[in-house]
Amino acid sequence: SRVLLTGASGFVAEHILEQLLDAGYWVRATVRNEDKRRTVSTLHPGALKLEIVIVADVGAPGAFTEALESIDYIVHTASPFHFSATDMQKDMLDPAIKGTTEILEAAAKHERVKRVVLTSSMASVIDTPLIPGPGGKVYTEEDWNSVTLEQALSHPAFAYHGSKTFAERAAFEFMERTKPAFDLVVLNPPFIYGPIKNKQSLTSLNTSSAVVHSLISSSKSSGVPPTQVPLWVDVRDVAHAHVLALQGGREIGNKRFLIQADGTYTFGQVVDIVRAKFPQLADRLPAQSGARVEGDGEYSGDNSKSKRELGLVYKYSLEDSITALVNDLLALEETR
């Protein structure tokens, strides 16, 4: 089968691309510009089943018309993930929402397309971290972030949460309204950690990897910052979830799935893992040890639907994930 993967230069998409190629799929990967095309190409030297095409603006009308020729499945990951938007509408909401609706509209015109897998986020499930988490709540696929457009336009963190929530809602509304021949599977991961395949520079780190880099660029005298979202998952498990979402039967169609490791975690645990595994970093870590600090979110999420219906087995522990990530961050520091 032939898969269109959008945003192939991204942290998560690079792992999806590798797993799709390993599974024998033919992949057309989209990137935003020639530089990114070259980067992705370099990561897969000699790949015979990979074509990389440029889609400069995912939200532009007709952006995906050509890219969808002869495609059976779509994995749509491209969406801005950062908390530094200055124009919330243009930098965040438009590419997320229009990117999603454009690809769905284009897919509806291509009879071959059987399924669209959308990388959404836990951000469209839980309320924005600026609002303290509800103590003891266990989130499920039934929950939706209550963020409003007004809030999304008022603050970069709300803008990200709004971008994911509104894009996902727009996708389900599109399916409901137009009842296309293909179906939709939505994946909702929380913070994603693990190895960085596309190692460019510390300044271009994706947001979740940058969070850990800032934790290990601290000092003994600083405190552990609040974790806020106490949920995480390994990037390799997330990529595997995307492959399983392509392969699953019709019964998983038009559903969303929380994709997260069992239990909860705190930045305190991350710091302790780094201290144990990388003794040379001791001076760059908060001396304080322990699981919880004030401001840590105290809710959790239920990942049982992903295990039951997608057949996802979570393979990586927090220690595996953080160790792999920190190794790659240190390698990037060497190239600075």
- Residue 119 or 306 having the CB closest to ligand NDP: 119
CB of 119 to ligand NDP, least distance (A): 4
CB of 57 to ligand NDP, least distance (A): 7
CB of 82 to ligand NDP, least distance (A): 7
- Residue 288 or 320 having the CB closest to ligand NDP: 320
Q: How many CB atoms lie within 10 A of CB 146?
A: 12
Phi, psi of 49 (to 5 degrees): -105, 30
Q: How many CB atoms lie within 10 A of CB 222?
A: 12
145 closest CA partner among 129, 265, 260, 97: 129
Rounded Cα distance between 207 and 10, Å, is 11
3-state secondary structure of 117: strand
Rounded Cα distance between 103 and 95, Å, is 11
CB of 199 to ligand NDP, least distance (A): 12
Q: Residue numbers of the site for ligand NDP (CB under 6 A)? A: 7, 9-13, 32, 36, 58, 77-81, 95, 119, 121, 164, 189, 191-192, 206, 208
CB of 263 to ligand NDP, least distance (A): 17
- Residue 58 or 171 having the CB closest to ligand NDP: 58
- Residue 180 or 189 having the CB closest to ligand NDP: 189
Q: What is the DSSP letter of 154?
A: T
Element (H, E) at 51: strand 50-54
CB of 241 to ligand NDP, least distance (A): 11
- Residue 90 or 220 having the CB closest to ligand NDP: 90
Residue nearest to ligand NDP (CB): 10
- Residue 40 or 107 having the CB closest to ligand NDP: 40
Rounded Cα distance between 17 and 8, Å, is 7
> Which two tokens mark 105?
């509209």
